[in-house]
Structure 1
Amino acid sequence: MKESKQYKIFKVVNTIIMIIVILVTLYPFWYLVSLSLSSEKYVYAGLVSIFPRGFTLKTYQVLLAEKEFWTSYKNTIIYTIVGTLISLFLSTLLAYPLSKKRLKGRGIILGFVVFTMFFSGGLIPTYLLVNALGMRNTIWGVVLPGAVSTFNVIVMKTFFEGIPTELEEAAQVDGMSTYGILLKIILPLSKPIMYVMALFYAVGVWNNWFGPFIYLDDNTKFPVALYLRNIIVGSQQTAVSSTSDVNNLAQISATVKSASVILTSIPIMMVYPFIQKYFVQGVMIGSLKG
């Protein structure tokens, strides 16, 4: 079909707008890359913009040479995998029953769930609870307190409601149990929303530093976000113990914030392209159906 003049103009304008959006979105990240690769004198003088000035890898070399950095990175990977699996398991067990209108007391339970979006127990009661349960200074103190997100549960519930009930009724006629229906019918059809929720939870655990900061005392159990945070707030002498050169410390102090963002963002950026198609489908279906 021959494209109309108006449609051609629309495509051109749309392309220009999208290019502008991409540039505006990428510039902050690119600026951080340039900042992390620049010499401290140019950083302090505010002369770094699009391209690095006084190119140097000193900050990355010092950070990546530290054993504590790789230990914290390993901890973060473990926390992210375990925390994401626990969160998906608990969220699914909560969202699936709430998607069934035949559930007795569904409205009351849903009300309690929504209530937690606006009110919480507070930091001190939560800390006392975690400590009383013996989870302080353990992996469970990191992954369990925030294991279930109310928003994510509601999105999953909405997605489950969009699955035809006839599929479940047919499975029940064939003698399949409730758990069998969930595992063999519902979850295979829910891959888009499960991938989306996995990404949401994984990013949350990966970037979490405040929870470990409160519940962990052993620095060998720190996640990478907390390790880099300690460097940023001024603990270079302790965290980068193998470095005694004054110039190295000056360079690290100038560029450690931008380098930290880059080092913690790369793994998530590498994972996202593989689940992008599920991400778009899951978010749209989970948020619009109902």
Structure 2
Amino acid sequence: MEFPAPHIHHPQTSHTHTIILLHGRGSNGLEFAEEFFSSATSKGKSLSSCLPTYRWVFPTSRNRWSTTFQEEMCSWFDAYSLTDIQKRQELQKDGLRESVLHILDILEGEARLLDGRLSHIYLGGISQGMATALWAFFAAIGMGRIQEPLGGLLGFCGWLPFAQQLEGLLCEPTPNSPYIHQPQHLISAFFFDEIAGHEISQANQPIDSSVLSTPVFLSHGADDAWISVELGRQASRILRRIMVRVEWHEFTGAEGDGHWIKEPNGFDQILQFLVN
């Protein structure tokens, strides 16, 4: 089954930037866009109104089988447990691999619209969408599909699949090599060994470490009833071992049992991240 076409919110004036945001499990691009733009900054404006030259792309996953719920769901991969993310992690691999390739095709299409200016493209998502966006970024590095920094990575109320393995990998002593010890090489090697299998080719050229200067924005409700804030903190710790600049924001009292962006403060923070 193919992926549905993304929902596009077109810029109100000339197109200068693109933001690609991935929905959570059980949602879709249009639904996420409507919820996202119905929230406002402290000035009572949606982010699309604040950024009239930005093109917003909300991809939709295809339906896939949920082992936990025993039904087809719109989801980027099959996550068996959100309370114990280590449980049956092998179920995530096929969906992650497939979804990552789809998102990278979208990213490259947006780059062509912007004459190759990757620094004007942001990638992110909420919940399972954040999980997928982060692995799409790591995969893009390992595959050589991005060779310069993006405008930024954004993640809301989410987690990083295989986080425990990555933390162990980043803490292990490694051979004295100018490449092997670098975090981006360890992570991309993990992707190819554990997730990609033989279906995706690794880049032949060296990885440009400047990609790691891509700024990162993460936020998570401390009272999130669906994804524990500890998983967000874990993702933040790992990214701080790899990336140059990582912002981490915690809050309480957001809608959706804490599993949403706090309004208006959280949207003010996102806006500040995007314009700085």
TM-score w.r.t. the length of structure 1 is 0.23
Which one has more relative contact order, counting CA pairs under 8 Å at least 6 apart?
A: 1
Structure with greater Cα Rg? 1
Write 1 or 2 for the structure with the bigger share of helix.
Answer: 1
TM-score w.r.t. the length of structure 2 is 0.24
